[in-house]
Amino acid sequence: MNNKKALLKAAYKDLKIHYFLNVIVVFIAAVIINGGYIFATDWGTTVGERYVLNDGSKSNAEIIEEFVNGQDIVDIDLSTETAQEKYTKGYFSVFVNEITSSGSLGFGILNGINKILFKGKIAQSVTIFAMTVISAFIWIFIKNILIVGRARYFIERRTYKETKADRLLFIYRTGVTKNVAKIMLIRSVRQALWNLTIIGGFIKSYEYSMIPYILAENPYMSAKEAFGLSKQLTMNDKKDIFILDIILLPLKLLDGATFALSSLFFFNPFKECLYSEIYCELRRSKKPTLCNQSLLFDLYIEENPKGLTIYPDELCPVKLMEKRRWLNTDWDREYKGDTVVLFFFFFSFIGWAWEVFFYLVNEGAFINRGTMLGPWLPIYGVGGWIIIYGLKPLRKKPALMFLGTIIVCGGVEYFTSWLLEKLFNQKWWDYTGYFMNLNGRICLEGLLVFGLAGVAMTYFIAPLAENLLLNIDPKIRKRICILLIILFISDLGYSAINPNTGDGVTEGLI
């Protein structure tokens, strides 16, 4: 693979075509795969999606010795009182403290076994194992599947310029999700084991790098066939892929100077485009010499003889299930009827859930965020309404939709902050100290997240949400709307006199 310059140029060309949709697809996938916005810019490398059991601070021998001697694999500096307090505040706090603190699913499992066998902390261990099982399920059947779906989106996008974001869900339409999940799990386990040898893990990460793309083309193959194909495709070319990573390294180093914005808006989507080009180049040049070349049977991945803008599903060699109604992402639709009411509560609940979860992850405690008692934050409902209904003329121009969302969300957030402070002499949020904040009411980082989330809501989440809502009987939907309105008005009246305040919710003004 000697045409590195050509690959870089092709990747840049791919990135520019529907640039904002490429950014959104990578952003959505990164948030889900990497576990939240904080990690969405820590892309690492497509080669990796690395699964490391040893963080490098201790030798493998030391880890095993500590495990046998009954010590925690990863030390979490918590007093007995503090730990006991945290473990009574919900499953996610346990998940964060015991699994996320180690940065490894493997360490979380080992710590759980350690507590049962050597420390007798049954209640804590059961909780840890419960969250480990849930996180493992998400990892295997959602995160790993989205990695393959992301690969499918980008290898189609390079040839079919109108490829939609719902290609992220491609594998779920094949009917062989379990097979893909199994192969990706084997890939993860093998990579983790090879990582224990350090050098071997580095080499194998490149050898396994093409597996998501291979499965994106043919999800029917066995694990043996997938690993064999990836090995053949990368044979004698792992060094070249590594060199391409090195060439891009200065772009990654810009994160520190750009507050990770360079990764969010360029590096991450560009590298996804680059690896799709690498796969197609390896496929084109080596397919004639592959031992099992018939497994790469999708003729329309690289070729577009009819000049189509959308991949022809009817000619796809992978048998796709008929797209279910709830998967329809017709984003330029009209939202009418009781959807107007339900969307307000849907956006309000999503905002509330996000803030509660964010606080839980960072502080380890469940706090009811917002001024009201119920599970809703009206500021998100109002913002969502304006984006979906007020910005409808901008839908056909994602860049303008992104900018419009930033302006709308910034205006709503600033005005709400000012109003709450005037009415109650309290702050429900404060961005003081954030880069480019305005009076602590709004900041650049938050607005960019709102902009991306608003675009994702417009083109992806809102259509899927309405599809699900329309599956509910109209009479039941009407009753739900009436009930929600009554509860909301009651809560609003009570909260106007007795707003939700306290530690983790508000702070007084000086």
Q: Where are the domains of the chain?
A: 4-52+138-323, 339-508
Of all residues in the chain, what percent carry a pLDDT higher than 90? 50
Whole-model pTM: value is 0.64
H-assigned helices in 208-338: 211-217, 223-234, 238-253, 255-258, 261-262, 268-286
Do the beta carbons of residue 444 and residue 436 sit within 8 Å? yes
Contacts 24+ apart (CB under 8 A), 81-89: 86/364, 86/365, 87/123, 87/124, 87/127, 89/364, 89/365, 89/366
> ∠ CA 279-281-287 to the nearest 5 degrees?
90
What phi and psi values does residue 437 have, to the nearest 5 degrees? -100, 155
- Category of 231 on φ-ψ map: left (φ > 0), alpha (ψ -120 to 50) or beta: alpha
Cα 439 to its chain centre, rounded Å, is 31
Tens of pLDDT, residues 33-78: 775 544 444 444 343 343 333 444 554 444 444 544 545 444 444 4
Comparing 258-267, 282-291, 361-370, which segment has the lowest mean pLDDT?
361-370
- The span from the CA of 209 to the CA of 207, in Å, is 6
pLDDT in tens, 88-134: 333 333 444 555 555 555 555 555 555 545 544 444 555 556 566 77
Nearest to 115 by CA among 87, 93, 134: 87
Tens digits of per-residue pLDDT, 416-431? Answer: 999 999 998 889 988 8
pLDDT score of 64: 45
Task: Transcribe 191-216 into DSSP letters.
Answer: HHHHHTTTHHHHHHHHHTTTHHHHHH
Residue 504 has pLDDT above 70, yes or no: yes
Query: Taking all residues of the chain, what is their mean pLDDT, rounded to a whole number?
Result: 81
At 396 the pLDDT is 87
